[in-house]
Amino acid sequence: MPKGRPVEIHSHAALAFVLGATCIGVVGCGTSHPPAAIAPPTGDSGTVVDGGVATATDGGALDDAGSMGDDAGAGPCVAPTENSLCYDSTPRDYIGGGRSVEWSYPDITFSPRYTPDKLVELQVEGPSSWGFWSFEFEASDFQVLGLGVYDGATRYPFNGPNEPGLSVGGGGRGCNMLTGSFEVLELEVDAAGELQRFRANFIQHCEGGTAYMEGQIRYSATTEQVDGGV
In the chain, where are the structural domains located? 48-219
Q: Tell whether the model's pLDDT for residue 32 goes beyond 80.
A: no
pLDDT (0 to 100) of residue 101: 94
Q: Which long-range contacts (CB under 8 A, 24 or more apart) does 30-36 make?
A: 30/116, 31/115, 31/116, 31/193, 32/113, 32/114, 32/115, 32/119, 33/113, 33/114, 33/115, 33/193, 33/194, 33/195, 34/113, 35/111, 35/112, 35/113, 35/121, 35/123, 36/111, 36/112
- Nearest to residue 61, comparing CAs of 76, 74, 75, 78? 74
Give the whole-angstrom CA distance, residue 68 versus residue 52.
Answer: 27
Q: Which residue has the higher pLDDT, 24 or 160?
A: 160
- Nearest to residue 150, comparing CAs of 106, 96, 227, 142? 142
pLDDT (0 to 100) of residue 22: 29
Q: What is the pLDDT of residues 41-88, one digit of tens each?
A: 333 333 223 333 333 233 333 333 333 443 345 688 999 999 999 999
- Nearest to residue 124, comparing CAs of 138, 107, 140, 137? 107
Backbone angles phi, psi at 112, to 5 degrees: -90, 150
- Nearest to residue 132, comparing CAs of 152, 103, 165, 89? 103
CB–CB of 14/143 below 8 Å?
A: no
Residues linked to residue 33 through DSSP beta bridges, in sequence order: 114
CB–CB of 30/23 below 8 Å?
A: yes
Distances in Å between the alpha carbon of 69 and those of 61, 75, 172, 208?
15, 9, 29, 17
Q: What is the pLDDT of residues 125-164, one digit of tens each?
A: 998 888 999 999 999 999 999 999 999 999 999 999 999 9
pLDDT (0 to 100) of residue 225: 55
Q: Which range (6-20, 127-141, 157-171, 176-190) has the least confidence?
A: 6-20
Q: If 0-12 CB within 10 Å is exposed, 13-18 middle and 19+ buried, where does residue 114 land?
A: buried
pLDDT (0 to 100) of residue 33: 36
**Among positive and negative, which fits the CA dihedral 13, 118, 137, 75?**
positive
* C-alpha 28: how far from chain center: 23
